[in-house]
Amino acid sequence: MRLYFSRNYNPRLAVAVARHLRAPVEYEFAEPFKPDQEARFLALNPNRSIPILVEDDGSTMWEADAIACRLSQLAGSDFWRQGAAQPDMIRWLSWGYWNIVRACDAVHFERVTKQRYGHGPIDAAKVAEGLAEFASSAALLQGQLAARDWVLADGLSYADFRLACVLPYADVAGLPLADFPAVQAWHDRLMALPAWADPFDGLHAPALPPIL
């Protein structure tokens, strides 16, 4: 199997899952929006976005959550929960995407992505809106993590990886993690996992452009 990735946070998430599960995949850095790569990646994903997992039979899976589910199946792992624990994990995946991940993304886009690629000045109003949403979401997550190490009661799961997918970029985006000690401690626990702290270790993964 082959996993196409880049250093952006959804591909980073997929690579971290694959390395955490020690999945039998080959990793290939990809730039699907380059003009000379368009036809190749359109054949793999109609959105042309990565991550993309290509299985040995040539079938493809795209979207980080779906890839995480598939890799967990192949690894025989409960990292993607099954059975009675699955609805609770799905709840946190759904909440996380529409709340803390979206809030972090809004701030990161203005302060990091736009400045990295020269897409215009920072929109202070959008940053303020994102930070407000981050604060309310982080407060809810703070309550969930106050008396446990991981989001689910039975231990580390994909829900932790998904909810935290933008947090490795928290410093550069200026996200105030320190205001939420339980969330900060959870982030620190995740960063103690080698596959999460540096999923690109040993891979060909060119650095992102500098922030201007």
The H or E element containing residue 131 is: helix 124-145
Residue 207's pLDDT band, with cuts at 50, 70 and 90, is very high
Q: 17: exposed, middle or buried (C-beta count within 10 Å: 0-12, 13-18, 19+)? A: buried
pLDDT of 71-116, one tens digit each? 999 999 999 999 999 999 999 999 999 999 999 999 999 999 999 9
Model pLDDT, residue 165: 97
Q: Which residues contact 110 (CB under 8 A, 6 or more apart)?
A: 122, 123, 126, 127, 130
C-alpha 23/C-alpha 17 separation (Å) is 8
Instruction: Delimit the domains of the chain by residue range.
Output: 2-80, 83-196
How far is the C-alpha of 160 from the C-alpha of 187, rounded, in Å? 9
Contact 104, 130 (CB under 8 A): yes
Top CATH class, 83-196: mainly alpha
Give dist(CA 77, CA 119) in Å, integer: 41
2-80 is a CATH 3.30.60.50 domain: no
Statement: residue 212 has pLDDT above 90: no
Token pair, residue 197, equals 């702290």
pLDDT band at 202 (very low <50, low <70, confident <90, very high): very high
pLDDT, one tens digit per residue, over 18-58 is 999 999 999 999 999 999 999 999 999 999 999 999 999 99
pLDDT value of residue 188: 98
pLDDT reported for residue 7: 96
Q: Alpha-carbon dihedral of residues 185, 93, 11, 130, nearest 10 degrees?
A: -70
- Bond preceding residue 181 cis, omega within 30 of 0: no
Same CATH fold assignment for domains 2-80 and 83-196 = no
H helix or E strand, kind and range, residue 204 = none
Position 205 confidence tier, pLDDT thresholds 50, 70, 90: very high
pLDDT at 11 exceeding the cut of 90? yes
Rounded Cα–Cα distance for residues 98 and 39 (Å) = 32
Query: What is the distance between the alpha carbons of residues 35 and 208, in angstroms, rounded to a whole number?
Result: 19
How buried is 13 (Cβ within 10 angstroms: 0-12 exposed, 13-18 middle, 19+ buried)? buried
> Phi/psi at 3 (nearest 5 deg)?
-115, 115
- Does the pLDDT value for residue 66 go beyond 90? yes
The number of CA neighbours under 13 Å toward the Cβ of 207 is 4
Q: Which pLDDT belongs to residue 137?
A: 98
Q: What confidence category does residue 135 fall into, taking pLDDT thresholds of 50, 70 and 90?
A: very high
